[in-house]
Amino acid sequence: MQRCLECAKKEPDRPCVECQYFVQLSPLRRVPSPPVRVLLEDEHGRQYPARILVLNTTEFGLETEAPVPGRYVIRLQENLWVEVAGVPFKGKNNVHVFDILCVHRKQGTARRLSREEYQLLAGSAGELIQEISRHLPEHLQDLVREKLLAEVEKSELINALRVGKVMKYEGGRFRYLSGQADLDLPMEEAEKLMRQAIRQAEHRREVIISADGQKVFDLHGVPFDHRSGGLLAFDITEVIEKERKMHQQEMQAYREAIAAVTGGRLYLVNSGEMEKVISEGTELARGEVRQTHDIPEARRAMREALPVLDSRRQHAIALCLTEALANALKHAGGGCWQARQSGDTVRIIVQDRGPGIKTSELARATLMQHYSTKNSLGCGFTLMLYYADHLYLNTGPSGTALALDFGVVPAGRLKPDKTNERG
Amino acid sequence: MDVYVDRGVCRVVLNGELDVETVAQLQEVVGKVEEHTLEVDLSGVSFVDSTGLKSLLDISNDWRQKGGQMLILRPQPDVAEVMRLVGLDRLLAQNTAPGGEER
């Protein structure tokens, strides 16, 4: 019998299944809880019950009476079995390391567990999927497991999934099977989803927000037959919150970088801040642009509404309005504009409902001269950055809003020595 | 828009605003020109936007490819500044006549 000296010294009474000696410590080492029950089968067909205490993609830590060394087969699913060999000098009592020699799948063989197989055994989603499929009619089990795994993989939420609930739906009623019992699901929505899944005889997925708006659930409906199915529910509230925070941090970094590069003149703002920017001051004029012809019209209407300014300022404002409107027309098929005044500042605002500037494109679109995602000179932002004193930009999938500030001194208040600018 | 032809030189005199709305007219007129040298007189143009500048650049490139030359004449100061800002003055350097001498 082998002893792990390190653990024996520290805590003589505890098994050392989690220590480095046993299964190499790596990001892929997992301790399934509870341990996964499997059967080891030797070449003569003798079977030994075993429990997977710890695993990575190339080794299992098994608790079993099976003799070590020795070669065994572990059947995980109909089409998935693993050949293992006990490592005699690694382990103690009934707990030993088993090397994964070969993984047999429907599609072929491999030397290690794939990500899906590994997660099937290690991750909470895997356990849940195992659990739910245990109650399925046999001919559906593999199919449903495969589909669910693919779906859960796709959702990219797998790593953050911790709690879940599995229920069976039959004859209009839900029966609790496993998982977190106190997960308070929106049952009305869940029933709708199950009815759809069963009627259409296919897997349905929906993300639903609880009635109080506090929780977000990822619901999967799996039809078993024409009148029953399984419901798999994950609470993804934390995941959503985490994603939102990451997005905020990313935007904050962009804001700071862009503000710094533009000498504090271009600000990326959120929609709340934009609301405020848009509502300040008093409105001088507004209009809409749907075709190129509307742009000179907008320029004319704005010139008429502006106070009398020196011609250079007037020209700068007209040019910036034109560039912003041309962008809205090109990228969003049109938009609306307004001119507002607050004290000695004229603010031009252009809004559209286009797809927005992608975050990854933002810096290039706003800061790089001659960068254009459409076929154009790509200098609209260059000009706006040059002429406007401050720019506020809010962009996202529901549209883009751009506000440009121009400090103006109405011509009536110009000092005599400056009036020569007006020719 | 006025067009004068004299001894292999075509001079197009523009008036008003050259922008996303009017570039098509300019391109249509210029498309019929067959002379070696094309002069675009901007003295009557009070406003040019980036679309207008793009079409000037395109026309200039066309002319150069055909072995001819294009000159931009007498842009007003505001227009000249915009051309300078987007670097068009450098792109057209070899065939841009000095301008802005009168308003």
pLDDT tens track for A71-115: 999 887 666 788 898 887 666 677 888 888 888 776 667 666 666
Query: In CATH terms, is domain A125-239 a member of 3.30.70?
Result: no
Give the DSSP H/E element, type plus range, for residue A372.
none
Residue of B nearest to A293 (CA): B21
List CB contacts (< 8 A) between B19 and chain A.
295-296, 322
Task: Please report, rounded to a whole number, the percentage of residues in chain A having pLDDT higher than 70.
Answer: 69
List CB contacts (< 8 A) between A327 and chain B.
none
Residue identified by tokens 């046993």 is A22
The residues pairing with B15 across neighbouring beta strands, listed in sequence order, are B44
pLDDT tens track for A291-347: 999 999 999 999 999 888 888 899 999 999 999 999 999 889 999 999 999 988 999
Q: Which amino acid is at A285?
A: A
Residue identified by tokens 């929505």 is A189
pLDDT band of residue B102 (cuts 50, 70, 90) is very low
A61 or A275, greater pLDDT: A275
The token pair at A158 is 């797998």
Give the DSSP H/E element, type plus range, for residue A350.
strand A345-352
A198 or A422, greater pLDDT: A198
Q: 3-state secondary structure string, chain B? A: CEEEEECCEEEEEEEEEECCCCHHHHHHHHHCCCCCEEEEEEEEEEEECHHHHHHHHHHHHHHHHCCCEEEEECCCHHHHHHHHHCCHHHHCHHHECCCCCCC
The SS3 call for residue A224 is coil
| Cβ partners under 8 Å of residue A174, min gap 6 | A167, A168, A187, A190, A191, A231
List CB contacts (< 8 A) between A423 and chain B.
103
Q: State how far the Cα of A298 lies from the Cα of A289, in Å rounded to an integer.
A: 8
Q: Which of residues 325-384 of A touch B (CB under 8 A)?
A: 326, 329, 369-370, 376-380, 382-383
| Cβ partners under 8 Å of residue B101, min gap 6 | B74
Domain covering A1-121: architecture: Beta Barrel (2.40)
Assess A311–B contact: CB distance below 8 Å, yes or no: yes
Q: b/e string for A224-235 if b means 16 or more Cβ within 10 A? A: beeebbbbbbbb
Q: State how far the Cα of B33 lies from the Cα of A112, in Å rounded to an integer.
A: 72
The SS3 call for residue A207 is strand
CA dist A152 → A126, A144, A161, A245, A341 (Å) = 9, 12, 10, 22, 53
- Whether the CB-CB separation of A82 and A102 falls below 8 Å is answered with yes
Q: State how far the Cα of A250 lies from the Cα of A257, in Å rounded to an integer.
A: 11
Q: What is the ipTM of this complex?
A: 0.85
The token pair at B76 is 């007003």
The token pair at A404 is 């440009």
Q: State how far the Cα of A202 lies from the Cα of A190, in Å rounded to an integer.
A: 15
The SS3 call for residue A336 is strand
Residue B78's pLDDT is 93
**Mean pLDDT, residues B55-73 taken together:** 89
**Mean pLDDT, residues A274-284 taken together:** 94
Contact A322 B20 (CB under 8 A): yes
Contact A299 B47 (CB under 8 A): yes
Among the partner-chain residues B20, B86, B103, the one whose CB lies closest to the CB of A423 is: B103
Domain spans, chain A: 1-121, 125-239, 265-407
CATH number at A265-407: 3.30.565.10
The token pair at A271 is 């929609």
Residue A298's pLDDT is 96
Q: How many CA atoms lie within 13 A of A57 on its CB side?
A: 12
Give the DSSP H/E element, type plus range, for residue A208.
strand A204-209
Q: State how far the Cα of B96 lies from the Cα of B5, in Å rounded to an integer.
A: 19
The residues pairing with A110 across neighbouring beta strands, listed in sequence order, are A103
List CB contacts (< 8 A) between A292 and chain B.
20-21
**Which has the closest alpha carbon to A77: A116, A124, A25?**
A116
Residue B99's pLDDT is 45
List CB contacts (< 8 A) between B49 and chain A.
319, 322-323, 326
Contact B78 A382 (CB under 8 A): no
Q: Name the range with the highest mean pLDDT among A33-42, A362-371, B56-65.
A: B56-65
The token pair at A336 is 């609306």
**Which has the closest alpha carbon to A89: A156, A157, A189, A21?**
A21
Task: Please report, rounded to a whole number, the percentage of residues in chain B having pLDDT higher than 90.
Answer: 29
Residue of A nearest to B58 (CA): A377
The residues of B whose Cβ lies within 8 A of any Cβ of A are 17, 19-22, 46-47, 49-51, 53-54, 57, 78, 82, 85-87, 103
* Percentages (nearest 5) of helix, strand, coil residues in chain A: 35, 30, 30
Assess A315–B contact: CB distance below 8 Å, yes or no: yes
CA dist A400 → A123, A351, A392 (Å) = 41, 6, 11
The residues pairing with A228 across neighbouring beta strands, listed in sequence order, are A170
Contact B21 A296 (CB under 8 A): yes
Give DSSP secondary structure letters for A316-329: HHHHHHHHHHHHHH
The token pair at A206 is 């929906």
**Which has the closest alpha carbon to A233: A223, A222, A244?**
A222
Distance of CA A163 to the CA centre of its chain: 18
Contact A293 B57 (CB under 8 A): no
Number of Cβ atoms within 10 Å of the Cβ of A248:
11
CA dist A263 → A260, A372, A392 (Å) = 5, 22, 13
List CB contacts (< 8 A) between A379 and chain B.
50, 53, 85-86
Taking the CA of residue B56 and the nearest CA in chain A, the distance in Å comes to 11
Number of Cβ atoms within 10 Å of the Cβ of A298:
23
Residue B43's pLDDT is 93
Give the DSSP H/E element, type plus range, for residue A277.
helix A271-279
pLDDT band of residue A2 (cuts 50, 70, 90) is very low
List CB contacts (< 8 A) between B87 and chain A.
369-370
- Whether the CB-CB separation of A164 and A124 falls below 8 Å is answered with yes
**Mean pLDDT, residues A250-265 taken together:** 81
Q: What's the whole-number average pLDDT of chain A?
A: 78
Q: b/e string for A175-200 if b means 16 or more Cβ within 10 A? A: eebbbeeebebbeebbbbbbeebbee
